[in-house]
Amino acid sequence: MSENTSNLAEERTAGPTAGPVGTGDDEPIGASIEVPDPGEGPGSGASRTAIAARGLTVSYGDEVALRPVDVDVPERRVTAIIGPSGCGKSTFLRCINRMNDRVDSCRVEGELLFEGKDVYDDDVDPVALRRRIGMVFQQPNPFPKSIYDNVAYGLRVQGRTDDLDERVERALRRSALWDEVSHRLDESGLELSGGQQQRLCIARAIAPDPDVLLMDEPASALDPVATSKVEDLIADLAEEYTVVVVTHNMQQAARISDETAVFLTGGELVEFGDTATVFGNPESDRVEDYITGKFG
């Protein structure tokens, strides 16, 4: 994993993290969710904590969006965040790399620790933080630049232009896009299909080699084939990165994640645990009602 978090305060770099954040409608809840066996999953095995919330509370003006949240997100695993519309999933995700800083009315209390350091400490540079915690949004949002320049963007901003070709190729291979674009790297990223654009955005996010990848409904704007490719990719990425993914789609959460956090109305984290247990044998009756479609 990476060097000490103290460099969060030292770097002055920009990452390609900005972009539209979409919100979608809840997808219909399927009658049956295939539950993996406990211990199965993309990144099975003991893992240390990468991100921890301690009494994390978030309000927009007078409206409380997250009630005190305590959670430990393990390193190099896929953690899914599920829950009904408006329960604070995106708010939680955006706390992790301080995207909420951009919202004037947003007030954050409590602690959000990344490798033990509170990301809201005064000496943390949010831009340096976002270099280590990349983000992918619901709507694919490539820059109006070539495929190559999209992937190279964050590296160039950081002045890391040595071995640029190799780094771009590696990110595109890691995103399962290289074979489809290697012969047309000079073409605009906007000319790719929606699913390819989303994998390009993933390549752009991982090219600067972050530790964490935050994904806000990364497949909800995609067709089933493209969704399946992105799901496969998410599982692969957990070999190298800590992945936190917000999804409305419970089947998807069950398929791709090792851990699942269930937020319910009012911004309450009601259950967090390994995905097989959360879906197969939840502790909370409210969570059981939610995942079986009795409300939500």
The residue from 29, 78, 87, 152 that contacts ligand ATP (CB under 6 A) is 87
Task: Give the CA angle between residues 115, 37, 281 to the nearest 5°.
Answer: 85
Note whether 90 binds ligand ATP by CB under 6 A: yes
> How far apart are alpha carbons 117 and 163 in whole angstroms?
31
The residue from 36, 42, 88, 218 that contacts ligand ATP (CB under 6 A) is 88
Note whether 17 binds ligand ATP by CB under 6 A: no
The residue from 65, 200, 233, 262 that contacts ligand ATP (CB under 6 A) is 65
CB 51 within 8 A of CB 77: no
Note whether 98 binds ligand ATP by CB under 6 A: no
- Coil/strand/helix, residue 34: coil
Cα–Cα distances (Å) from 123 to 108, 133, 247, in that order, read: 16, 17, 32
The residue from 7, 12, 103, 121 that contacts ligand ATP (CB under 6 A) is 103
> How far apart are alpha carbons 210 and 109 in whole angstroms?
25
Note whether 91 binds ligand ATP by CB under 6 A: yes
Note whether 105 binds ligand ATP by CB under 6 A: yes
Pairing type for strands 117-118 and 49-60 reads: unpaired
CB 14 within 8 A of CB 231: no
Binders of ligand ATP among residues 43 to 62 (CB under 6 A) are 60
The residue from 2, 6, 85, 161 that contacts ligand ATP (CB under 6 A) is 85
In angstroms, give the least distance from the CB of 267 to ligand ATP.
6
- Tokens at 105, concatenated: 């009315």
In angstroms, give the least distance from the CB of 83 to ligand ATP.
6
- Kindly state the DSSP code that residue 87 receives in the 8-state scheme: S
Pairing type for strands 117-118 and 106-114 reads: antiparallel
Count of residues that bind ligand ATP according to CB under 6 A: 14
CB 216 within 8 A of CB 21: yes
Q: Which is nearer to ligand ATP, 63 or 162 (CB)?
A: 63
> How far apart are alpha carbons 271 and 117 in whole angstroms?
24
In angstroms, give the least distance from the CB of 71 to ligand ATP.
15
Note whether 178 binds ligand ATP by CB under 6 A: no
The residue from 2, 6, 7, 23 that contacts ligand ATP (CB under 6 A) is 23
Q: Which is nearer to ligand ATP, 91 or 227 (CB)?
A: 91
Note whether 18 binds ligand ATP by CB under 6 A: no
- Tokens at 283, concatenated: 């502790």
In angstroms, give the least distance from the CB of 89 to ligand ATP.
4
- Tokens at 3, concatenated: 């060097």
Write out the residues near ligand ATP by the rule CB under 6 A.
Answer: 23, 60, 63, 65, 83, 85-91, 103, 105
